Amino acid sequence: MNFEDLKNKLIDKPQPIYVIQATQSYFFNELRETIKKSMSIEEQAMNFAMYDLIETPLAIALDDATSVPFFGDKRVVILDNPFFLTNDNKLQKITHDIESFEKYIIDPQTTTLLIVFVPYEKIDKRKKIVKLLQNKTQFIDLVNISGQTITQIVRDSLTNFKLSIDNNALDLLIQRTNGDLSNMMQEVSKLRVYCYGKTKITSHDVDKVVTKSLSENVFDLVNAVLANKITDAISLYRDLRANGEEPLKMNALLLSQFRLILQVKGLITKVRSEKELATKLKVHPYRVKLANKIAQKFKFKDLIAVYLGVLNIELQLKSTQRNPDLLFELFMVEYQKK
């Protein structure tokens, strides 16, 4: 089901119970906000309720759900974090009355719209309650939404403001936000405002406006180091340090990145595809793809030299009191000479 359709359905003619499974919190926030907006402020106060099942017993929520709406024609109850659908028992602080929930599923209150937010990737499908929910309710799975759906959502949200985004810009946006939809939408709202008066968002705009994550920065750093751009590398390092990044953390990221590149360099010929290598190395395919791109450009010898150099920084960081910036700069100068 299309997300936009879902939103409209929830407002217009909803079924009594919806279960929405998604890992992107954006969907939950968006649904919640859409529903709230469809209600007046008075209605919101009287007939809207959200329960966090980690803290609140199910009984209280069901109590609310079974009661008739005050001064209105419908009541909305949202259940968040239904951990009892999963195998994970760590979250279990309180015991829930699952039986009465089952009863409610079979015979729901028609004036109430009950929505269950399931922010988990996997739920235990052997459980009776899960089977019941899957059979008797509107069970919507948004976990495995494709990249295409995500880009569509982004584009849709921009069309409302008469803006378009080109593919490069979109790619960059996805890369910067790590494909996290909530994050992406935050950045989109910023982009939207920045590009006020324009009709198209370019990758140049994205580059300027969208915040770089640390791993993104480290990725740039890796490229600068390998390309032997000493000025770029050191100034980027200094920028990151000025932002208060921990040297050890940065170094660890650098090291893991170089290790991955080395692994890809050595193994890519022994597998059929990047994807297969990704599964074997247990890393995200996108990272393997990027690592492979870099690995192809450089010689084994150089990669090893850099890896060992960074490793040495780590050793020094942990065993001496030397200034991390200095260590990195010395490493760069030394590497440059090679």
Partner 1 sequence: MAYQALYRVWRPQFFKDMVGQEVVTQTLKNAIITKQTSHAYLFSGPRGTGKTSVAKIFAKALNCLDLKDGEPCNECINCQAINTGTLNDVIEIDAASNNGVEEIRDIRDKVKYAPTQGKFKVYIIDEVHMLSTGAFNALLKTLEEPPTQVVFILATTEPQKIPATIISRTQRFDFKRIKQTASLARMEYILTEKQIAYDQQALQIIATAAEGGMRDALSILDQALSFADNKLTLDNALMVTGAVTQDLLSLYVQAVLESDTVKGLELLQQLLDEGKDANRFIEDLIGYVRDLLLANEAPKLVNAIRNNDFKTQAQTISLQQAYTIIEESNNVQQQLRYTTHADVYLEVLTVKLCNLSDQKVDDTHTKQELAFSAENLPKKTILKQLEKSRKDASSITTFNAKIPVQGTDTKIATKGEINKVVDDEPTKLITKVQKSNLVKMDGQAVFLTLQKATKGALTAFNDAYIDLLNMLTVVQSAKLSQAKFVAASDQSVVLVFKQPYIHHLAIQDIELQTSIKDSLEKLLGNEYQLIFITEDQWQQVRKSYVTQLKAKIQPDEMQAPILAQIELETKPQALTVTDETEIENEQDAINSNLNNKQEVASLNEAKNAKMTDIVNEAQTMFGVENIEIRKD
Q: Of the listed pieces 112-120, 232-240, 256-264, 295-303, which binds partner 1 according to CB under 8 A?
A: 232-240
Q: Of the listed pieces 85-93, 123-131, 206-214, 305-313, which binds partner 1 according to CB under 8 A?
A: 206-214
Binding-site member from 182, 202, 256, 263 for partner 1 (CB under 8 A): 182
Give the side-chain half-sphere CA count within 13 A for 295: 21
Q: Report the sign of the C-alpha dihedral through residues 15, 16, 20, 26, in that order.
A: positive
Min separation Cβ 203 and partner 1, Å: 14
What gap in Å lies between CA 314 and CA 187, rounded to an integer?
A: 34
Min separation Cβ 290 and partner 1, Å: 22
Q: Report the sign of the C-alpha dihedral through residues 188, 194, 198, 200, in that order.
A: negative
Q: Of the listed pieces 62-70, 145-153, 182-190, 286-294, which binds partner 1 according to CB under 8 A?
A: 182-190
Under the binding rule (CB under 8 A), the answer on residue 209 touching partner 1 is yes
Binding-site member from 46, 145, 214, 271 for partner 1 (CB under 8 A): 214
Quick check: helix, strand or coil at residue 179? coil
- Closer Cβ to partner 1, 137 or 217, answer by number: 217
Min separation Cβ 193 and partner 1, Å: 5
Q: Other CB atoms closer than 10 Å to residue 278's CB: what's the count? A: 20
Q: Other CB atoms closer than 10 Å to residue 266's CB: what's the count? A: 12
DSSP codes of every residue in 42-93: HHHHHHEEEEETTTS-HHHHHHHHHSPPSSSS-EEEEEE--GGGSS--TT--
Binding-site member from 194, 286, 298, 307 for partner 1 (CB under 8 A): 194
Under the binding rule (CB under 8 A), the answer on residue 177 touching partner 1 is no
Q: Other CB atoms closer than 10 Å to residue 53's CB: what's the count? A: 22
- Closer Cβ to partner 1, 224 or 295, answer by number: 224
Which residues have CB under 8 Å from 261's CB, separation 6+?
222, 291, 294, 295, 298, 303
Under the binding rule (CB under 8 A), the answer on residue 186 touching partner 1 is yes
Identify residues 234-263 at the interface with partner 1 (CB under 8 A): 234-235, 238-239, 242-246
What gap in Å lies between CA 96 and CA 92, rounded to an integer?
A: 9
Identify residues 261-320 at the interface with partner 1 (CB under 8 A): 320
Work out the angle at residue 167's Cα, subtended by the Cα atoms of residues 165 and 172, and round it to the nearest 5 degrees: 90
Evaluate whether 124 touches 130 at the Cβ level (below 8 Å). Answer: yes
Min separation Cβ 256 and partner 1, Å: 17
Identify residues 316-335 at the interface with partner 1 (CB under 8 A): 320-323, 326, 329-330, 332-334
- Closer Cβ to partner 1, 1 or 308, answer by number: 308
Interacting residues toward partner 1 by CB under 8 A: 25, 182-183, 186, 189-190, 192-194, 196-197, 208-209, 211-212, 214, 230-231, 234-235, 238-239, 242-246, 320-323, 326, 329-330, 332-334, 336-337
